């Protein structure tokens, strides 16, 4: 069973789109009306982030507006909405999820104050700076071979690396800021693997697409050795750094 509470910019929130049916409402707009009728009370508990979602009935139509609620918003919503046995179970479930993610946030804050983590993070930034020089050489190499979108390899290589080494249910504005020390060190090693593959491929005069394929194969092989790890599971990992 997937969690309903998600992390948004390191703040636990829950979407009204994930709530309305579970709270006994047939339509999303009916739950939204509970919020709009009590807008002042919700605003006092913090700004609700607007969320847009395509309409199930009309995919080409105007997106439906929903909200991302913090824990206080959710509690107020439960108090105001109709009360059913299902909604009581939902409140207990969601409360546990908020508690778990608040523990994750607390662990992140503590981790970033750790001098060991700070040193590894700084080292990682230096390694990445060196890697970008190699990627730029590869971009120039690919462009010379006829690539029309070689600049995208900065993003494509990072995405390929992240997908091979980690699994996560959501996006993060800065993935490195939520990694453990162990994961940061793994990323630094992965940088070396990619750098070596790009250099070797260019020295051999391989076609740029073959070089990218070579880098991907080596990252996958590296991930097979060290294993794939979850992002933002600090409370479960304990002192695993």
pLDDT tens profile 59-96:
667 889 999 999 999 999 988 987 777 788 898 999 99
Cα distances (Å, whole numbers) of residue 207 to 127, 152, 228: 26, 16, 29
Answer yes or no: do 118 and 90 share one domain.
no
Q: What is the pLDDT of residues 190-201, one digit of tens each?
A: 999 999 999 999
Q: How many domains does the chain have?
A: 2
Q: Is residue 109 part of a domain?
A: no
Q: Is residue 108 part of a domain?
A: no
Q: Is residue 207 part of a domain?
A: yes
Answer yes or no: do 125 and 53 share one domain.
no
Answer yes or no: do 230 and 125 share one domain.
yes
CA distance 9 to 177: 11
Answer yes or no: do 138 and 222 share one domain.
yes
| Predicted TM-score (pTM) of this structure | 0.70
Coil vs helix vs strand at 34:
helix
Answer yes or no: do 201 and 123 share one domain.
yes
Host domain of residue 229: 114-237
With CA atoms as reference, report the closest residue to 2 among 172, 123, 15: 15
Answer yes or no: do 89 and 130 share one domain.
no
CA distance 68 to 77: 12
Which residues lie closer than 8 Å to 83 by C-beta, 6 or more apart? none
Answer yes or no: do 86 and 131 share one domain.
no
Answer yes or no: do 49 and 120 share one domain.
no
């Amino acid at each position: 069973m997937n969690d309903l509470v998600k992390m948004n910019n390191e703040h636990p929130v829950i979407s009204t789109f994930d709530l309305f049916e579970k709270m006994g409402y047939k339509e999303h707009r009916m739950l939204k009306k509970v919020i709009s009728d009590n807008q002042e009370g919700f605003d006092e508990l913090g700004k609700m982030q607007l969320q847009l979602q395509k309409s199930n009935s009309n995919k080409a139509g105007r997106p439906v507006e929903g909200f991302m609620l913090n824990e206080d918003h959710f509690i107020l919503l439960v108090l105001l909405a109709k009360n059913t046995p299902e909604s009581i179970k939902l409140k207990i479930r969601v409360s546990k999820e908020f508690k778990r993610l608040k523990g994750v946030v607390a662990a992140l804050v503590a981790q970033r104050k750790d001098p060991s983590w700070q040193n590894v993070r700084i080292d990682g930034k230096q390694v990445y700076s060196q890697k970008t020089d190699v990627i730029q050489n590869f971009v120039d190499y690919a462009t010379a071979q006829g690539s029309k979108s070689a600049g995208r390899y900065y993003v494509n290589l990072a995405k390929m690396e992240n997908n091979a080494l980690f699994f996560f249910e959501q996006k993060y504005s800065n993935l490195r800021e939520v990694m453990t020390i162990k994961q940061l060190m793994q990323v630094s090693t992965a940088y070396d693997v990619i750098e070596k593959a790009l250099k070797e491929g260019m020295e051999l005069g391989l076609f740029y697409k073959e070089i990218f394929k070579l880098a991907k194969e080596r990252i996958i092989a590296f991930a097979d050795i060290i294993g794939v790890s979850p992002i933002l599971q600090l409370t479960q990992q304990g002192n695993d750094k």
